[in-house]
Amino acid sequence: MASIEQIRLDFPVLDQQVNGSPLIYFDNAATTQKPKVVLEALNKYYSEDNANIHRGIHALAERATAAYELTRKKIQSFLHAESSDQIIFTSGTTASINLVAQTFGRANFEAGDKILVSNLEHHSNIVPWQMIALEKGAEVLVIPVLDSGVLDLDAYQKLLQENTVKLVAVNHVSNAIGTINPIQEMIALAHAHGAKILIDGAQSVAHMEMDVQRFDMDFFAFSAHKLFGPTGVGVLYGKRDLLESMPPYQGGGEMIKEVSFAGTTYNELPYKFEAGTPNIADVIAFSASFDYLNSLEKGWVEEQENALLNYATEQLGQIDGLKIIGTAPNKIAVISFLIEGTHPQDIGVLLDKFGIAIRTGHHCAQPLMQRFDIPGTCRASFSFYNTKEEIDRFVVCLKRVVTMLL
């Protein structure tokens, strides 16, 4: 396999100076960088194949349609889904979750029903359920999180036992603190109590293998830009019987079979959920992300990122006054931290002066910040193209920043 130096050359954005220093990009939980093959695929579509898809009979339309549908097939393989018809393209994880809330939720929720979400969730897996619960007279209940950042599974089981739960919505991995949730156990418990479950996979897809059938997932949502692909593309996987029972989310072209003023019949899966001209170029470019990931040695990505997480945790632990928020035994390569006497935003601004990109704030997880009684954190998140040498420089610069602030 290629060396880490060669791999980094595949990501053009990493080869630049920011404020006079080499860029260190530790904001991978917000979005991952894109390899050359993705950028080239995007350019190729607009340069050679630009056409609308599915209904054209000319050469460009047929090439674009074939490339677009090939991405769907690759996602099916990546998720180990039964059929590519179960792969719905959306604009992102947020749109995928909203689709389920506004279709499955509207068709199935009744007054008094309960929806379980965890205290670890991103706002995009909280607010849609609050909206549909308000409309239908249902109630959102919260799965609590322990001080370590691990979900309280005893409380989860009790909530399932004591309530009429129609749906559980939980992330596979916390974007804010990196906790990996035991979704196989959580799915089995939900099903044992007659509930369906949606897994927000935005933060897990880049770090571990997925198998929606083995885990018996009802719904799984993620975004391309978290998996080295373009922004503006999301995916929703659903079990066939659920997707077929759900009404369309939006009306327009492509999602219909026949339209008349006497009535309209809807298209089959997956197209009944894909109204209008889709984000053709970025879906096609996303295909190249899977080609790139498949070129890497199996298991290497997870091994590399675990090594970075362990090394960074050890090095940061040597800084006086630094406290890591979220110490679950199973984490992806995300470290959220606070330093006594400083504000996260000040640290982020000053680190940027050294060319270091981290994320600061509440990370779209305000309920979790409230749970820990903090305004936000500094978050460093790593990908396989990061290095221990970058972590060393990060720690040196962080110590300088702390000296400047205290």
Please give the positions annotated as active site. 364
- Cα–Cα dist 222/332, whole Å: 16
Q: What is the DSSP string of 333-373?
A: SEEEEEETT--HHHHHHHHHHTTEE-EEE-TT-HHHHHHTT
Report the DSSP beta bridge partners of residue 359.
379
Angle at the Cα of 207 from the Cα atoms of 9 and 153, rounded to 5 degrees: 160
Question: Residue 119, SS3?
Answer: coil
Distances (CA, A) of 141 to 13, 112, 130, 144, 169: 42, 12, 10, 9, 10
Q: Are 226 and 204 in contact (CB under 8 A)?
A: no
- Cα–Cα dist 226/92, whole Å: 10
Burial of 59 (0-12, 13-18, 19+ CB in 10 A): exposed
